[in-house]
């Protein structure tokens, strides 16, 4: 019997069980204040990068000494801050307010775009319904004036021609 090719036979390895959830960030003041920051603070690193404090993750939740402060930079990258490294500074209140203003503006802009798209779809739907109503009304008028196929009117005679055409004559 030839050897089995890769991928044939029984499955080996792979994930078993549920996906492991990431450790949660502790954002309470009692967890963050030993680092000198609060969750949501904007900070500037010694290299000049600006990030937002996410919170503290603990290797063992019962041991507060194992905590590591995490920050998210503008690109979305989440990294831990090294304990004991100096040079991290909190940005001014004005910069925090401007961050909140930008967040609110982008949220409002997104909601307005969604509202405009919904209004456009609704307007197109209403126009389609109006066209359908006009078409059905026109169809009712046109069908009322002409006899339907196979319907015979009083005082008329239907003559079948050899060419296959039908002629309706009034008597």
124-154 pLDDT per residue, tens: 999 999 998 888 887 776 655 555 555 555 6
**pLDDT value for 139:** 75
- Residue 42 CB: number of other CB atoms within 10 A? 19
Residue 46 contacts residue 87 (beta carbons within 8 Å): yes
**Reported pTM:** 0.54
Task: Specify the CATH architecture of the domain 29-91.
Answer: Roll (2.30)
Integer Cα distance of 35 and 38 in angstroms: 8
Would you kindly state where each structural domain of the chain is located, as residue ranges? 29-91, 92-133
Confidence label for 117 from pLDDT (cuts 50, 70 and 90): very high
């Amino acid at each position: 019997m030839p050897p089995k090719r890769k991928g044939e036979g029984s499955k080996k390895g792979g994930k078993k069980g549920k996906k492991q959830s990431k450790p949660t960030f502790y954002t309470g003041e009692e967890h963050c204040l030993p680092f000198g920051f609060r969750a949501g603070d904007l900070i500037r690193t010694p290299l000049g990068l600006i990030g937002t404090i996410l919170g503290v993750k603990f290797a063992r939740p019962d041991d507060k000494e194992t905590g590591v402060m995490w920050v998210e930079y503008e690109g979305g990258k989440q990294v831990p801050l090294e304990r004991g490294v100096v040079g991290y500074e909190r940005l001014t209140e004005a910069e925090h307010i401007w961050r909140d203003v930008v967040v609110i503006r982008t949220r409002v802009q997104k909601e307005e775009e969604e509202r405009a798209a919904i209004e456009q779809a609704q307007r197109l739907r209403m126009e389609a319904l109006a066209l359908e109503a006009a078409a059905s009304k026109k169809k009712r008028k046109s069908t009322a004036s002409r006899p339907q196929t196979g319907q015979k009117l009083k005082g008329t005679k239907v003559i079948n021609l050899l060419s296959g055409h039908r002629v309706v004559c009034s008597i």
